[in-house]
């Protein structure tokens, strides 16, 4: 028994793997979770990202090599689009030459600008290629790229169906940071110096202006509970509070402590935020970002809401009065909160990063695209 196991470990030790994509926290954080799982199994992980994404800071900080390429989004007028297309074409050429040199056993696209050119280049070289789709509704690029890859690995079960029959989609869940599963309320409260009950408000990796303004007003005078508002870089400088029990932060590297300390969480419907709350198991009010054409955050949220794991609050209904009322209603309902928290916890996917890593390594060992 030990012989085949040892031989597979030995080949993982030598294997190099490329993870491509990034942009926002929603793409970079799960990518890093997969990278950690791969590194633990002895593989060498190299990232391809864009020069403008969050990966620029987070990937080297986690100790991985990053090739940052100049890339841009397709949104905007014809000049911008043309420039984005030129950058895309150049990125495919650059990825092909990097992949030719690195000779990875497998490539994973996680979404974001660098994902598609790397996947296209890897396919053209016959390298085993995967995509991880974080959202319940696959984006246009992943839908098209899905047909090219060996497997599309999805965070939400619904996404598999939405890819259609021509794509091999496998539900693996959302790669989530380990600390989220380990955090406990008492320790978190003590570490953060917070007096319970605690309300946590955060709007994804970049913040959410509508929620930020409503929360600053709703909790800005005085509250019989603690409020932590993680505002994001863009909105942080414009927010203030007179309430000594209301903390406004720019970003939290240790979000697991804040989630573990919380009784009620108000979040956007980003896939990362939702699965992070699920990992800790807390009662959440979800306010989906309303301006995505495909309503991806509403559909992400619905998966949890339909399973009794979260409450929905449409963005158009968010103002200081409604936000405070909804938070206090939930704070006053111990049983309702417990039920939401426990259903939320049951939807967490603690094995997702391992699953993605295992599939990539197995494909790399097989050596076929
Ligand atoms: C507006 C927008 O385009 N949003 C998309 C983006 O969201 P965005 O990048 O905001 O993503 P997510 O909610 O998916 O993830 C944010 C991640 O950042 C973490 N975090 C956030 C704040 C903080 O202080 N500390 C911290 O660690 C969260 O815990 C979470 O893990 O990517 C997601 C995944 O494709 C999509 O579902 C969202 O629709």
Determine the pLDDT at residue 207: 83
Determine the pLDDT at residue 6: 40
Structural contact between residues 18 and 261, judged by C-beta atoms closer than 8 angstroms: no
Gyration radius of the chain's alpha carbons: 21
Q: What is the pLDDT of residues 142-187, one digit of tens each?
A: 988 999 999 999 999 999 999 988 899 999 999 999 999 999 999 9
Residues of the chain with CATH 3.40.50.2000: 2-175+350-366, 179-346
For 113-167, the DSSP string reads TTHHHHHHHHHHTT-EEEEEE-SSS--HHHHHHHTTSSEEEESSHHHHHHH-TTS
CATH architecture of 179-346: 3-Layer(aba) Sandwich (3.40)
Minimal-distance CA residue to ligand 1 atom 22: 205
Minimal-distance CA residue to ligand 1 atom 13: 270
Q: At residue 295, does pLDDT exceed 80?
A: yes
Dist. CA 207 → ligand 1 center (Å): 9
Q: Is 135 annotated as a binding residue?
A: yes
Q: At residue 8, does pLDDT exceed 80?
A: no
Q: Is 193 annotated as a binding residue?
A: no
Of 171, 175, 170, 168, nearest in space to 145 by CA: 168
To the nearest 10 degrees (0 to 180), the angle between helices 25-40 and 271-280 is 60
Minimal-distance CA residue to ligand 1 atom 4: 270
Prediction ipTM score? 0.96
What is the dotted CATH code of the domain comprising 2-175+350-366?
Answer: 3.40.50.2000
> Given the CA of residue 204, which atom of ligand 1 is nearest to it?
10
Q: What is the pLDDT of residues 199-218, one digit of tens each?
A: 999 998 888 999 999 999 99
> Given the CA of residue 251, which atom of ligand 1 is nearest to it?
24
The reply to whether ligand 1 has any atom less than 6 angstroms from the CB of 358 is no
Q: Is 177 annotated as a binding residue?
A: yes
Element of type H or E holding 200: strand 198-202
Q: What is the pLDDT of residues 244-292, one digit of tens each?
A: 999 999 999 999 999 999 999 999 999 999 999 999 999 999 999 999 9
Q: At residue 357, does pLDDT exceed 70?
A: yes
Q: Name the residue of 252, 267, 270, 277 to mutate for ligand 1: max ligand atoms within 8 A of Cβ.
A: 270
Q: pLDDT exceeding 70 applies to what percent of the chain?
A: 96
Q: What is the pLDDT of residues 56-91, one digit of tens each?
A: 999 999 999 999 999 998 888 999 999 999 999 999
Determine the pLDDT at residue 3: 35
Structural contact between residues 35 and 45, judged by C-beta atoms closer than 8 angstroms: yes
The reply to whether ligand 1 has any atom less than 6 angstroms from the CB of 112 is no
Minimal-distance CA residue to ligand 1 atom 8: 26
């Amino acid at each position: 028994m030990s012989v085949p196991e040892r031989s597979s470990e030995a080949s993982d030790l030598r294997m190099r793997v490329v993870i491509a994509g990034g942009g926002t926290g929603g793409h970079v954080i799960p990518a890093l979770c997969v990278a950690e799982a791969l590194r633990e199994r002895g593989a060498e992980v190299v990232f391809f990202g864009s020069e403008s994404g969050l990966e620029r800071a987070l990937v080297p900080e986690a100790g991985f090599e990053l090739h940052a390429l100049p890339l841009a989004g397709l949104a905007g007028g014809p000049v911008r689009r043309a420039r984005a297309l030129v950058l895309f074409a150049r990125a495919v050429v650059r990825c092909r030459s990097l992949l030719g040199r690195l000779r990875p056993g497998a490539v994973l696209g996680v979404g974001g600008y660098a994902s598609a050119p790397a996947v296209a280049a890897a396919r053209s070289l016959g390298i085993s290629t995967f995509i991880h789709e974080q959202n319940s509704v696959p984006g246009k690029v992943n839908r098209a790229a899905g047909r090219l890859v060996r497997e599309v690995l999805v965070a939400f079960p619904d996404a598999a169906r939405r890819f259609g029959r021509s794509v091999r989609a496998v539900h693996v869940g959302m790669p989530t940071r380990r600390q989220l599963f380990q955090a406990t309320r008492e320790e978190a409260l003590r570490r953060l110096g917070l007096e319970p009950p605690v309300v946590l408000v955060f709007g994804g990796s970049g913040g959410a202006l509508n929620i930020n303004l409503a929360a600053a007003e709703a909790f800005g005078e005085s509250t019989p509970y603690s409020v932590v508002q993680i505002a994001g870089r863009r909105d942080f400088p414009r927010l203030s509070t007179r309430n000594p029990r209301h903390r406004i932060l720019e970003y939290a590297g240790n979000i697991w402590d804040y989630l573990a300390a919380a009784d009620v969480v108000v979040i956007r419907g980003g896939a990362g935020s939702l699965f992070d709350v699920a990992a800790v198991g807390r009662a959440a009010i979800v306010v989906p970002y309303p301006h995505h054409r495909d309503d991806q955050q509403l559909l992400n949220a619905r998966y949890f809401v339909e399973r009794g794991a979260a409450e929905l609050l449409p963005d158009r209904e968010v103002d200081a009065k409604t936000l405070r009322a909804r938070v206090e209603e939930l704070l006053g309902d111990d049983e309702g909160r417990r039920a939401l928290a426990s259903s939320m916890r049951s939807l967490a996917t603690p094995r997702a990063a391992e699953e993605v890593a295992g599939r990539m390594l197995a494909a790399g060992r097989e050596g076929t695209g």
